Structure 1
Amino acid sequence: MLLGALLLLIALLYLSYTNVKDRHLTSAEHHTEIISRSVNADFLQEDIILGIVGEQLFKDENYKNEKKTKEILDTLLKQNQYLVSFGLADVNGNILISNSQVKLKHKKNLLTDKITSYDFKRSLTSNNMVVARTYYFKTIKEWIIPLRKAIRDKNGNVIGVVIAGIKNNKNSNYLDGLKLSKDNVVLIIKDFDDENNVYRLYSGGGSNVSNETLYDFPIASDVAALVNKRVKEKYKYSLNELRTNGQTVSIYMTDGFKEEKIAGLKYDEKYNLWISVEGNASEVWHEFLNILLAHVIMFTLSFIVFFLLFRNIATSEERKNRELIYQVQHDTLTGLPNRTYMYENIKKYKTKHREIYHVLYIDLDNFKNINDKFGHTVGDKILVEVAHRLNSFFDEEDMLIRQGGDEFIVLRECIDETKIEENLETLITLISKVYHVDSKEFRIGASVGIAQYPVDALTIEELLSLADTAMYEAKKRKNSYCLFSEKMRHNNIVKSDIEYELRGAIENNELWMAYQPQINADGTLYGVEALIRWENKKLGFVGPDKFISIAEETGLMRELGDFIISTSLREIEKIQTKLDMRFYLSINISVVQLIEADFLANLLREVENAKFDRASLTLEITESLSIESLDDVLPLLYEIQEHNIKISLDDFGTGYSSLSMLRELPINELKIDKSFIDKILYDENEKALVQSIINIGKNFNMKTLAEGVESNDQVKVLKALNCDIFQGYYYSKPLSKENLIEFLKKEKI
């Protein structure tokens, strides 16, 4: 009996020791993973800064302006307390210029110097910033971590290298934010150099060892060999394999100062660094001895009670860990897995679905309106119901994720395109069904974007980005889906080019205004519509249908809108004065402009500055604003009308909410979309629809204007339908201000 109890105690103590050891090893892995991400993020930030500064200074050899270059470098140092040196070098290792604080009496060559040569050569062949070996910079009397970033021209040739140094002193260090508890030490190690040596890049933890010992001498080869041996024993692969598999490991080891450690280890492939978090192995024994003492005391009282208590403690700890992991990896509102869960489990999912799978990006339509109008409590209840519906639609093989807000992500095994389209239609129908919340009924829709692995991309980040792009295409139609295509990838590139060139379009005088005449039914001039035009050296002529939406998305619409308003008002007022004629000017206004707090004040100021008659000004707003912006802009539209400025509803009939809007919006004019006018000569249904629109305008005391009139036959039909105003190529194409003057002179005659 006693022997059995002793054996049981020994077994329990062994389990306790194993648990403590495994927990310390797991803790080392978790801490190493966290520190690794922080280190990568810190160096990525410096990578980006060096790249931006380098491209700016090497472009057109701007660095040769020594005064301005030093000002830029000095400013960067002031903004970053840990940055102690900044400069530029050519591809031969010669230092071209440095910040003012660095006085180089004898400029060493980075390509030939023994300490810097290896890493400088690496920087010339690397697309990433190279983190070089720590050394003592005598000129500024600082231990520094050198950074090297090669700058390339359009052809990929290296034109220079940005060089920088960050503090690595014990009392003031760029990486001191990585500190953990006093028992853990963060160690960053450079990978093997050309002499097969490894050096410490950074050693935290307040060690009494001098910097010279830490950084001037390589880590002993027997230490590296021991680490490799321990990794092989535990994980069955070598350090070389650890470089490429992205794993975080933990081992027992002896460091370079003969101290036993528990160490976590991870390789940063981007910057060729080993990240390690070390703790004293003695802590395992200290913790275990406390447990041993408690176990012995409890065993002497009752080994049965001890056994039950131990089991309960172990079970409780395991449950708490599971609960904690669940909380971290799941959304608190819907209970669905979150992005953390997705990233933790994506490798398992890819292993299980090796060949092909789809990434679905789901965004709810009209949810924001409900959230804003009825409050977040109602919105949250709808989101919970959406989650229930999604759970019922997808099965256990699919990975359903709440991205955040009103967005969801689904990873689903690939099926043929026809079937997935059928499934998506069913899904959208399911989400679009009525929601009953607090005795009210709500309806929302869903826009879904789909990307496919491995056809569209190989990484989850890029797949999500492409699915998001496809989702925004679907959102243009609302309540629909869109599969990512190469055309979208091309459009993204074109869109990026347009955005870049558009930023300098006004400054470079690339924009100008054209004006298309609007003719009354009796043949007299009614007015003109102002139309923006853009001619770019690189892109050629870019239509407003291409760049207006990009301006709205990128924050350029205000500047562009101000240009359109001020230019149109000034040019037309001058023409009216010159020809002694009065006619209406129509200017298109974006929803983005309307929701600006100072839009009306700026508009009235421009009208006043141009000495333009307010009664001759018409603002054209698009019908699509009614869906999500009506509540925001309705008071503004009434205020605009109070200032004797007219409002026209553009593209009328192309949306689905126009009739309900007309009772609320202060509209003076309806513009019938060209798509209807094109068909009135041969499609009776379209003709009847145009007749209905004109009748609606008459009933609401609004003028009706037909866009896109291109033939006399169309004019005859529209006159028969009592349309008031005509605009289109039948009368005139959009004209420059000079050609408009000639056109108006003929009209005047």
Structure 2
Amino acid sequence: MLQLMHADCVKERFVALFKKNIWFIFYSLTLTAVILFLVLSYFKWQNISLKYQIAQENTVELIANATHSLFDTQERLMDVLGAAIAEDDRYVHHPSGIGKYAQALLDNPDVLAFGVTTPEGVFLYGSSDSDPTRIPNLKNRPESYASFMDALSHKGMVFGRTYFTPELQKWAMPIRKTIRDAEGKPLFVMTALLKLTSTFDRLISTVRYRQNLVVSIIRESDSYLQYRSQEHDEYNRTYQKPFPPETMERIWTTIFDTYGLNPKALQNNELLVSFRYQDEHSRRYLSSLKYNAQYKLWIVAQTSFDVIVGEFMETLGLYAGVFLLFGTVFYLLFLLIAQAESKRRADLTYQATHDQLTDLPNRNYLQQTVSSNRIAKDAPPFTLLYIDMDHFKNINDSFGHHYGDRLLVAIANRLKTLLPSDAEIIRYGGDEFILFTQLSEKQAVLDFATHLIETLSKPYTIDTLRFTIGASVGIALYPQHGEDLDMLMRAADIALYASKKLKNSAHIFAETMQEGFLRNVHVEQELRKALDTHELFMVYQPQVDAQERLHG
């Protein structure tokens, strides 16, 4: 039983605390929800960024591996083709025979053309022209000179710069391989032109989120772009100029600041790194980079931060919508509880400050509200009327409290009809009322009080009974008769005492009334004291007539 009582007590305290601090609890919960929302948003941002980073790194690995596999296959085919051509020593005198060996390579749809040149760059065979002498010398073309010389000095396959071939009217990416004799001397150089887009675009088409991804393959030797997955309609701008050195320097600085790695370390270990990069136009990217050491290519993938932020904002908008929805529901719930609690408090305050019988403000209202609202520094003057109903006690004694209460309600209603717009009526207790008015001129106040008495003295009909009572009024002026409520009430009470002597009259407080009142109070107190101390006793005083005879 004690445990149940304790539990009920704790529950009641919790409910009381909740109602008392409902908005504090709401704001605390809202703050907690906002913090959770921000934390959730932060982790969602990290999750989305990581998702794009992982997808991008997988793309770089895929492109790197697929590119390596593709080029390795092409190199092996060229090795086989070169060995076959070298074994047939007639190729020098009858180069047209090279075509039968080249056909296997040309059957590949990614290969646009195939050619064989001497170490001096003169074409012996070209699949794009039946007369190879009409094809320009590779050493004489600026876009092919560097890669041709690299091919002569390297044993492996070499990439040439991506360029536009007038003969084919297409953009192509050349690969070159030098075939040597047993002593290592160059015999001839083979060149295959690969379709620029189809080779890599098929790889990009298998990548997730490819519509937002830019993949670039950059030559390490001269920083020219070998391939770029976007800007296919701007080939001249993309492939005719090397990658800006300041851009590459900015990338290396960012990687070094993030990982502490320089380009040499990336090349030696073929590391895959991801970093956040800002270009010269202040556009931000999530970038991933890896180096292919065999073919000396940088493979770079970039996603604009606008794309990542856009997806995050969509998710954030969804979260914010749910947050606002639940926040609105909780706010309305708390608002309903607060309004109900406010109404309950207002009802309790009203019950505490108003008389249940007449619905007029009561003594508590007088002490709590009127004294603070009307009596203040620089407050305007006003008048307090203390009203007491004459002969009301007789009605209570003769007809009972039921009729007395109904008569009080009728008196209150009649008082309400008499009130000016600036006046206020209070039931002070029993058959006593306090009335405040802004009237401050004595004659005007007395005229108002007289009209009040005349109206209250008119008969009251309750059921079949008619009651006639009177009213006496004591008047005190603020601030002449007091600067606080107690002093004003005392002055009005003294004035009411003078009015009660005459009945149905009104008097304004005067100092002479106070002297007489105090004298009467003193006499009353002395008489009470005499009664308590048995100082009063009965004596018999004989009465005699003129003849001195006992009369009584």
The alignment's TM-score, normalised by the length of structure 1, stands at 0.37
Question: By percentage of residues, which structure has more helix?
Answer: 2
The alignment's TM-score, normalised by the length of structure 2, stands at 0.50
Higher Cα radius of gyration: 2
